Chain A
Amino acid sequence: MKTLRQRNIRDYFMVGLLYVSTIVVLTPLIIIIGYVIVNGISSINIDFFTQELGSPARAMQGRPTGLVHTILGTLVVDSLALIIAAPLGLGAGVMLSEYPDHKLNPLLRVMNDTLNGMPAILKGLLAFALVVKPMGAFSGLAGGVALAFVMIPIIARSTESALMTIPWSIREAGLAIGLPRWRVVLSTVMPAARTGLVTGFLIAFARAAGEAAPLMFTSFGNNYLPNRWTGMIFGPVDTLPQRLYSLAISPYKEWHAMGWAAGVVLLVFVLGLFITGRVLTRQKFKV
């Protein structure tokens, strides 16, 4: 039989362990973000945003190099992904939430979760087989498709849960004044849930924007700006996560510095989207 004193000591000990664990988990995060910001900011200059990368010789001879083509490429590929993913994700979310009795829903839910749980690299392989092989070339479009595969299940889930937060009485009110079902969904339910919908898009976009694995063999990478703007869509194109990987494993010191700079840009981009999404959700619950 333990005395109360022993039990209290055990209590304190466990609380101490909880504190230590929390600190141990959070310290690396702070260190990583700190390192990336400090190293990244010191390697960023105006050339980074205005010049293209070129060959390694260009950096080693001290000529101005930068990642303007990478930043533009990232925006193009991510936007393509969002354009492809938005209707599919929204449609599936509407189906799950507004037609809850539909026969396909259980299957859709399982498949969507399966897709969500699949490693991103497999989505890259899928996009390679579906887009790169038939087109015969690595392209920004293939990269967009690969990232869309990352976004779709996230958007579908968040759309479903955003629409589910709208009470059924709103839909019933719409139906009661004689609106057909599609108008109820489009004009009352979706506008009421728009904060939740936007949050879902932001989170999905943030997740996809940080992915490098599916882009390695779909948009492939490119050291130069394409000659024509269509080259961004139909030719190999650079994206920040994939370029960051290439820079980091390259043997050139100048490129390592540029890798840190790319790291801070990517980190700010992704965390900015992510935090905006979080803040929006929080406001929704406050109101």
Chain B
Amino acid sequence: MQNQHTTGSIAEKPVSIIYRWLGDRIFLTVVVALGLSIILLAGAMAWVLTGESGMALKEFGVIGFLTGTTWDPGVQFRFGALPFIAGTLITSVLALAIAFYPAVAVAIFIAEYAPRWLGYIIENLVHLIAAVPSVVIGIWGIFVFAPWMRDTFYFPLYEWAANHQPSLLPVLGSPIGYGMATAIIILALMIIPFTTALTRDAIRQVPKEQREAARALGATKWEMIRMAVIPYSRGGIMAGAILSFGRAIGETMAVAMLIGNNNNFPFSVMGPAATMPSVIVNEFREAVGNLHLSSLMAIGLVLFVISLIVNLIAAYVTRKLSITGGQSI
């Protein structure tokens, strides 16, 4: 009875051609247009940055801009990006070096040792690190962490160097607390979640047989992880590390608040320094003149190119080294 009723009512209303054929056409067009605009957006970023930085690159030459060590918007109007490129690469590499082993260790702990409920809690807490806004970490760094580091480590170290090894003083830099070392440590904390998450995902995919085989050979639990689990998940670990590195390169606010913002190359260990994002955020608002603005855009372009390379490497590594060979994970 019910069935007859429905079939009947459908038959009474023949579906129009607009509803079927045209509707599908319109829907597909709209969806493709929206998707296309994302492609255009990514293209626009490259195009806009290149266009806006043209003035600076013409003035100093591409090589000249990349290798110039003077950044002087006040007197000489000379702009060279090398201090910031170096600052970004040094802070990011060292932050990754600090973060890498703890991040992988947390992932192994979650996946292999912790009970399910504890693993769940820890995993979400690690994700929470990535969710805390970087300005909030920055304000804690300015008022709590940097002064604490200064009183606990930098001052004693500086005093020791002054008394015993004066030659080290220029390398160490002034112990004001806001400088490269502080920024690197905070940066290391902020990039841990990315390595941990991808390592965790990779470990989850290691087949049970692989583990059982190792245990059957008499391996202890750690030996099993060392022999069977880690080699198997190296793709995920590598991809996570590269992704973390990419995040470190682009991290702006916490670094700008803690690195001390010093444009004079070369930098010292504890002394103030600068990175590409930090100089953009500090000077863009108060940029004097078009050349200054264009130079900051050119720094943005360098940042864009480096991020692009890092992202492409990460995508390549995930595809090549992952267990599934690039199929959906």
Interface residues of A (CB under 8 A from B): 7-8, 10-11, 14-15, 17-19, 21-22, 24-26, 28-29, 31-33, 35-36, 39, 87-88, 90-92, 94-96, 98-99, 102, 104, 107-108, 110-115, 117-123, 125-126, 128-130, 149, 152-153, 156, 178, 180-183, 185, 206-207, 209-213, 216-217, 220, 241, 244-245, 248-249, 256, 259-260, 263, 266-267, 270-271, 274, 278
Question: Can you give 8 A-B contacts (C-beta < 8 A)?
Answer: A26-B125, A32-B136, A119-B251, A119-B252, A125-B49, A180-B21, A210-B135, A266-B135
B205 within 8 A of A: no
Residues of chain A contacted by B113 (CB below 8 angstroms): 15, 18
A71 to B26, CA, bound (A): 40
Residues of chain B contacted by A278 (CB below 8 angstroms): 124, 127
The smallest beta-carbon distance between A77 and chain B, in angstroms, is 15
A115 to B49, CA, bound (A): 14
The smallest beta-carbon distance between B147 and chain A, in angstroms, is 12
B307 within 8 A of A: yes
The smallest beta-carbon distance between B145 and chain A, in angstroms, is 8
Residues of chain B contacted by A178 (CB below 8 angstroms): 10, 15
Is A121 a contact of B252 with CB atoms below 8 Å?
yes
Is A271 a contact of B128 with CB atoms below 8 Å?
yes
B109 within 8 A of A: yes
Interface residues of B (CB under 8 A from A): 10, 15, 19-21, 23-24, 26-28, 30-39, 41-45, 48-49, 51-52, 101-103, 105-106, 108-109, 113, 122, 124-129, 131-140, 142-144, 189, 192, 196, 220-223, 243, 246, 249-253, 256-257, 277, 280-281, 284-285, 297, 300, 303-304, 307-308, 310-311, 314-315
The smallest beta-carbon distance between B8 and chain A, in angstroms, is 15
Q: A36 and B140 in contact (CB under 8 A), knowing A21-B106, A114-B42, A180-B19?
A: yes
The smallest beta-carbon distance between A230 and chain B, in angstroms, is 23
Which of A114, A183, A249 lies in contact with B311, CB distance below 8 A?
A: A114
Given A210-B134, A216-B284; 13 other pairs, CB 8 A cutoff: A15-B113, A19-B109, A21-B102, A21-B109, A25-B103, A29-B132, A108-B38, A113-B315, A117-B314, A120-B250, A180-B20, A181-B24, A211-B133
Is A122 a contact of B125 with CB atoms below 8 Å?
no
Is A125 a contact of B297 with CB atoms below 8 Å?
yes
Residues of chain A contacted by B32 (CB below 8 angstroms): 95, 99, 102, 104
Residues of chain A contacted by B277 (CB below 8 angstroms): 119, 121, 213
Is A156 a contact of B139 with CB atoms below 8 Å?
no
Residues of chain A contacted by B284 (CB below 8 angstroms): 125, 128, 216-217
A28 to B280, CA, bound (A): 28
Of A7, A24, A32, A99, the most chain B CB neighbours within 10 A belong to A32
Is B304 a contact of A122 with CB atoms below 8 Å?
yes
Residues of chain A contacted by B138 (CB below 8 angstroms): 245, 248
The residue of chain A having its C-beta at the shortest distance from the C-beta of B223 within the complex is: A7
A119 to B257, CA, bound (A): 17
A14 to B253, CA, bound (A): 36
The residue of chain B having its C-beta at the shortest distance from the C-beta of A278 within the complex is: B124
The residue of chain A having its C-beta at the shortest distance from the C-beta of B34 within the complex is: A91
A21 to B126, CA, bound (A): 12
Residues of chain B contacted by A17 (CB below 8 angstroms): 105
The smallest beta-carbon distance between A271 and chain B, in angstroms, is 6
The residue of chain A having its C-beta at the shortest distance from the C-beta of B252 within the complex is: A213
The residue of chain A having its C-beta at the shortest distance from the C-beta of B20 within the complex is: A180
Is A259 a contact of B139 with CB atoms below 8 Å?
yes
The residue of chain A having its C-beta at the shortest distance from the C-beta of B285 within the complex is: A217
The smallest beta-carbon distance between B73 and chain A, in angstroms, is 16
